[in-house]
Chains A and B, each alone.
Chain A
Amino acid sequence: MGLIKTTGALMLITLFALAVITFAANFANDNEAAVDVGDDEDLSSIKTKAKSDLSQMRTDAETSIDALQDSSIGTQSEATEGGTQFKVTATNSLGMAKNVLTAAWNSLFGKAEEFNVLLTALISFFTLVIGWYIYKAWRGNPD
């Protein structure tokens, strides 16, 4: 598995765990179940931590791509120093995709917290992937 697939898999594991626990908790709330998964402290804390981790991932991803934008490599390298031709198009398209995704997502699912965490994860992942592709195209390094 490459970097993108591994990161995607780990993120999907987090989303899957979050979905399972949230579904079970909402099932209990909606049906007034006698046994509520919310009473399990460990599982409830996983839910909170996973949401926090995904939110932090988005912040880190955006910090990372900002740092990539500002970075340059020495003139002794075969690559161009600023790598602008690789950065501009990719980050612009990422910005457009984020805006379109957010608008479409809000229209479809509203701004419910349970759904918004998926959008957060999706945008974080796209940001990371775009950053890796820029770096790969600029420096020519394998993933």
Chain B
Amino acid sequence: MSNIVLQDIFLLLILIGLSIPLGRYIDRVMSGQRVFLSRLFAPLEKGAYRLMGIRADEEMSAKKYALSVLVFSLTGLIAVWLLMVLQGSLLNPEGFSGTSWHLAFNTAASFVSNTNWQAYSGETTLSYLTQALGLTVQNFVSAASGIAVLYALIRGFVRKERNTVGSFWVDLTRITLYVLLPLSFIVAILLVSQGVVQSLGAYHTVSALESGAQQMLPMGPAASQIAIKQLGTNGGGFFGANSAYPFENPTVMSNIVEMLSILLIPSALCVSFGRAVKNRRQGTVLYVVMMLLFVGALIGITLSEANGGITLSGVAANGNLEGKEVIHGIGASSFWGAATTAASNGSVNAMHGSFTPLGGLLLLFLMQLGEIVFGGVGSGLYGMLAFVLLTVFIAGLMVGRTPEYLGKKVEPYDMKMVCLVILIPPLLSLLGTAVAVMLPAVHGWLTNSGAHGFSEVLYAFTSMANNNGSAFGGYHANNVFTNVLGGAIMLFSRFVPMVAVVFLGGNLAKKRQVAASDGTLATDNAMFTGLLIGVILIIGALSFLPTLSLGPIADYFTTR
């Protein structure tokens, strides 16, 4: 256990150490300043703008910004769908044929919305071309879109009496070129050095040592996709078993690189935010809130996995190893579980369906909080900022003053947008679950019976409605109902809040800056930190306690 504690502290310290310089760098990139990579990429950037027919200083209204996000994402949706359905012989050594229309829709929606829910196994379904040109590209741009929209909101706080929130094309291009591509390249090479495969050759066949039976070893351009899947909080595995599969994550070091990559950009963005609004303490408060919620969940999950599972006579008690790789053990599997559900990543290095009931409950709850504990890149922080506005609003009601945050008055229009951001994911999680459990066919899709079976359904729709993408693997997801409903849920829960956030930013940008007075609620101290955590937990608990009682809590009390 002391190893695990040391390991957790070590990982979090490295994370904090890396996130601060990266956060500063991202803010320089997003505010259009020159950075050290400009020398290399500036000509490329200019060329790209010329092709798009735009100028770098051309700004957009909120409406145009939001429309650009939607049109761009729709382009990606159509491209991935076509690539999957029409999958041909190009870069397809195993000769996989096109997929069903509904699986293609689900997957396209999933990758465009940064969810990466997967109802298929990559190694038995997709050509290398689909993986690289379809899915890898969406890994990049869905992450970049999240950060772009975050900055549209941040500009709303910073600007005074302006009608524009930046240019989506410039934001998207700069974040991809200067942040995501170089970071992914480094991480990809680190992963290959550990044994993550990266080849365009055909699958290997070997005969096994003892039986001589043929064993198929899948290959592919995996490391390049896995790097951005972690950095961009996408999470979709190149292979079906995701990062539990040794070709995705073979060693202790690869595991550390991937775990840190999951949390790196979401935490760095807290630093970027503090710098962008010229008030670093505001960024620090959000970082602290996320970290406290994360550490709380991490402790709970680790304890539950270390002490849970079945004790049988004649077996050494070693915690719950079911669904976990020996090399990652209880410690690194619990850390990964907490990180991937907190940060809206959804990749796994252990099977979440085989976590203990209470460990599984915390994984679920981290998603149900709305993916704001670090959360998706960009989307986590704009979700957290929605909760900040809600907290300011509630505090304002208590003392009878107009609420304000960062010098901007929070008014009814803003609160309507905040409600869209906060309420859509829980609404869709619960509606999806409710519809699914009423179907007679649902029994055929479950592996577990009883309360854990219900948890499989709840987890599936929570994961899709919060753009996470991980699963209780016992749920057989590749059917028309789950593919179509789930695809629609992923799109709605991604793009309705996104558009609301852009409009919120647009509305805030139009406002005057009001000077702080004695009556202004301070949002950078311990009291506000506590208040914010309280609001987050209360909203999450109010939305989900009934379903959690039917699932993991009942599971805990009715099984051993």
Do the two chains belong together in a single complex? no
Point out residues on B near A: beta carbons under 8 Å.
none
